[in-house]
Structure 1
Amino acid sequence: MRTAYQYKLRPTKQQARDIDKWLSMLCAQYNYLLADRFNWYEQNRCPVNACPLICYLPELRDNPDYYGQKRTLPELKKTHPHYKEVYSDVLQDVVGRVKKTFERFLSGDSNGKRSGRPRFKSRERYRTFSYPRIKENCIVGGKITLPKLGAIKLILHRSIPAGFKVKTVSVTKKADGYYVTLSLEDLTVPTVKPDINPDSITGIDMGLKEFLTTSEGEPVAIPQHYRKAQKRLRVIQKRVSRRKKGSNRKRKAVKQLGKQHKKVADKRKDFHFKTAKQLLSKYDVVVHEDLNVKGLSRTRLAKSMHDAGWSSFLSILSNKAENAGLLVIAVNPKNTSQDCSSCGVKVPKKLHERWHSCQCGCSLDRDHNAAINIRNRALGHRVLKAQLMSDGIPGVAEKPTLYCTQSV
């Protein structure tokens, strides 16, 4: 199992200057390697029997693949000696980032989904570098030892769990300082809880009036962190727009704006983690709708949806459930708000109608009705049905499937 812990760094002034210098050099190298791949691609993407609109003879050279670009790094250190200050593994990791970015542009990810054309990064947009390998005892006495940067003080607000090993380290510069992210690995695999209680299953309906409503009728209020911070953000944004471009006052205003946005994001993330903990400490199985959040965020409700952060919350919920050996299941969202949870008859309602009333006598809140429908659909789900049937049978609880997104 892999997990990640993030801590805030307290570097000295010299260490902060070194980190900034590394980021600047790595950004330049990233853009150079990406441009090299684009040059080869533009000159060689036409087949031999086709004539391009711009006729020229392409340069006959090998495709600048991952290993070919790594072989150019020793020559880079000869022509630009200041790159010797950067740790070799960190410099090689830039080549890997370019490879991954360009391959997603050409052939797509593991699901075949292609990303847009990679962009060259400005210095302000390149904020992270990684150590692909690190010593096990890199953290001693509240300090982390990073090659060529030395021992840097960090705020160890929680200890690393027993049995986990530090595999990689990433250093990130954010609006309010420097952070280090540790990728931890444990060889043990969490298993699904063998004794799932059928009464400990809940459905949650995500909304914008309430953040979510459980099938027991318990609502969780939506905090609206961004909307509450809009007044302050508006003042700072106006200050940024009035500053002269390239001036120190403009730079300070931009930094202040970044801190305010990060404050809003941290509040939202804290709310998501606390809400996920409350659900998983009370229920063994949490069922939600398999929503197309990306599509819904293109509507007029985009600001409210981004403020709620549904996608981030569901990701946190599924990860925490997997680590705890619990289940999070996604079901088909079709007509969960329209169908009656008592008799199953479809009762059409517009979006502003917040109360469900059926001829069978069922009368309850619209979101509560939807949450009950979501829970009922999960009871027929093959993953949950197989888990409930396998209670008490040795070895069945060791199945690797912990989170399923197939629709019912």
Structure 2
Amino acid sequence: MRTAYQYKLRPTKQQIIELDRWLSMLCSQYNYLLADRFTWYEQNRSPINACPLVCYLPELRENPDYYSQKKTLPQLKKTHPWYSEIYSQVIQDVVKRVKVTFDRFLKGDSNGRRSGKPRFKCRNRYRTFTYPQVKEGCLQGNLIKLPMFGKVKVVLHRAIPDGFQIKTVSVTKKADGYYLTLSLEDKTVPEIKPDFDPDSITGIDVGLKEFLTTSEGETVAIPQYYRKAQKRLRVVQKRVSRRKKGSNRRRKAVKQLGKCHKKVADKRKDFHFKTANWLLSKYDVIAHEDLNVKGLARTRLAKSVLDAGWSSFLSILANKAENAGKVGCSSKCL
């Protein structure tokens, strides 16, 4: 079983500059690899019912896949020596990210659902890089040793339980600083109980008047964190719109707006975790309706639906139920 713990990083000023530099270079490489795939795709596709009589014949070359793009990395370090300062597996993870993004566009995910056309990322939208493998003992006290970067201070607000093994490490830049995400493998997850107490089974119905109502009639009030923060967000948003584009004052206002939105998201996430814990402390099986949240988010109820965050809550509920050896699923699986 995989789980993730997130911690706040406390890098020095010099380390912040280096982290920003890494993200900038990785963003450029991501856009370059994505452009290479788009070039091949546009030059080699031709609809059967709309083939032009006169067309450009490109130079024949193999489809750039994960392995062929990965082989270009040694040459990249020769032509652009500054990429040698980044850990090799971090750059390889960028190739994998491009592959996953493009495959979802052409083939779809495991359920056959295709995503939209991938977009090139501007510098502010490329915020994460990942170490696919780390050595044992990389986390020592409140310091984590990142290969080819050095030791960075971590705020360990909770200890990693015994028996958990760190598999991957991700560094993410958010509005209020850098965060460390540890992907942990736990081999001691309890098996799902074969027999359940009939009195310990319930169904929940989510809504906009009440966040959820159980089959026993218990209700949980909807907090509406975004609605309550709208007045403050409106003030900060006006401050951003009045600043001159490209100025330092606008950059500061954008950062302040990001912090306000992050505060709302953190409150909502905390509410979801506490509600899921409350349900799992009382019931062994929790069934819910199969919601089309994306469809509801396109209606006039979009703001209220997104403020409730049903998809996030149901995902958290299913994950925590699996960790606890219980069942949280839609009514289709029962």
TM-score (norm 1): 0.79
- Equivalent position amino acid for 2:124 in 1: E
Rate the CA distance shift 1:306–1:54 in 2: closer, same or farther, 3 A.
farther
Cα distance in 2 between the residues matched to 1:53 and 1:7: 59
Deviates more, 1:265-274 or 1:80-89: 80-89
- Equivalent position amino acid for 2:61 in 1: R
Cα distance in 1 between the residues matched to 2:324 and 2:284: 9
Cα distance in 1 between the residues matched to 2:141 and 2:249: 39
Cα distance in 1 between the residues matched to 2:319 and 2:146: 29
What is the CA distance between 1:329 and its match in structure 2? 3.2
Answer whether contact 2:240 2:254 (CA < 8 A) is retained. Answer: yes
DSSP 3-state at the match of 2:160: coil
Q: Does 1:5 align with 2:9?
A: no
DSSP 3-state at the match of 1:108: coil
Larger proportion of helix: 2
- Equivalent position amino acid for 1:89 in 2: Q
Rate the CA distance shift 1:53–1:222 in 2: closer, same or farther, 3 A.
farther
After the TM superposition, list the runs of 4 or more consecutive aligned residues in structure 1 that deviate by more than 3 angstroms.
47-54, 187-190
- Equivalent position amino acid for 1:128 in 2: T
Answer whether contact 1:128 1:172 (CA < 8 A) is retained. Answer: yes
- Residues 44-83 of structure 1: pairs in structure 2 closer than 5 A: 44-46=44-46, 51-52=51-52, 55-83=55-83
Cα distance in 1 between the residues matched to 2:184 and 2:28: 30
DSSP 3-state at the match of 1:22: helix
Structure 1: tracts of 5 or more residues without a match: 332-404
- Equivalent position amino acid for 1:257 in 2: L
- Equivalent position amino acid for 1:167 in 2: K
- Aligned partner of 2:100 in structure 1 is 100
Answer whether contact 2:318 2:328 (CA < 8 A) is retained. Answer: yes
Q: Does 1:117 align with 2:117?
A: yes
DSSP 3-state at the match of 2:307: helix
Cα distance in 1 between the residues matched to 2:87 and 2:217: 56
- Residues 130-149 of structure 1: pairs in structure 2 closer than 5 A: 130-149=130-149
- Equivalent position amino acid for 2:111 in 1: N
- Equivalent position amino acid for 2:95 in 1: V
- Aligned partner of 2:41 in structure 1 is 41
Rate the CA distance shift 1:279–1:104 in 2: closer, same or farther, 3 A.
same
- Residues 183-262 of structure 1: pairs in structure 2 closer than 5 A: 183-262=183-262
What is the CA distance between 1:300 and its match in structure 2? 1.3
- Equivalent position amino acid for 1:168 in 2: T
What is the CA distance between 1:161 and its match in structure 2? 1.7
Answer whether contact 2:189 2:325 (CA < 8 A) is retained. Answer: no
Cα distance in 1 between the residues matched to 2:3 and 2:289: 25
Rate the CA distance shift 1:243–1:323 in 2: closer, same or farther, 3 A.
same
DSSP 3-state at the match of 1:205: strand
Deviates more, 1:197-206 or 1:307-316: 197-206
Cα distance in 1 between the residues matched to 2:323 and 2:189: 9
What is the CA distance between 1:49 and its match in structure 2? 11
Answer whether contact 1:321 1:327 (CA < 8 A) is retained. Answer: yes
What is the CA distance between 1:301 and its match in structure 2? 1.1
DSSP 3-state at the match of 1:199: helix
- Aligned partner of 1:322 in structure 2 is 322
Larger radius of gyration: 1
Q: Does 1:29 align with 2:29?
A: yes
What is the CA distance between 1:205 and its match in structure 2? 1.4
What is the CA distance between 1:203 and its match in structure 2? 1.7
- Residues 339-354 of structure 1: pairs in structure 2 closer than 5 A: none
What is the CA distance between 1:136 and its match in structure 2? 1.5
DSSP 3-state at the match of 2:318: helix
Rate the CA distance shift 1:54–1:240 in 2: closer, same or farther, 3 A.
farther
Deviations 1:217-265 (A, max 9, x none): 2211110000000000000001111110111111000000000000000
TM-score (norm 2): 0.96
Among the aligned pairs, what percent are the same residue? 78
Q: Does 1:312 align with 2:312?
A: yes
What is the CA distance between 1:101 and its match in structure 2? 0.6
Q: Does 1:265 align with 2:259?
A: no
Deviations 1:21-51 (A, max 9, x none): 0000000000000001110111111289984
What is the CA distance between 1:53 and its match in structure 2? 6.8
- Aligned partner of 2:171 in structure 1 is 171
Cα distance in 2 between the residues matched to 1:205 and 1:47: 46
Structure 2: tracts of 5 or more residues without a match: none
Computed over aligned residues only, the root mean square deviation of the Cα atoms, in angstroms, reads 1.6
- Equivalent position amino acid for 2:76 in 1: L
What is the CA distance between 1:186 and its match in structure 2? 2.3
What is the CA distance between 1:174 and its match in structure 2? 0.2
Answer whether contact 1:293 1:310 (CA < 8 A) is retained. Answer: yes
- Aligned partner of 1:90 in structure 2 is 90
Answer whether contact 1:43 1:59 (CA < 8 A) is retained. Answer: no
- Aligned partner of 1:336 in structure 2 is none
Rate the CA distance shift 1:187–1:247 in 2: closer, same or farther, 3 A.
same
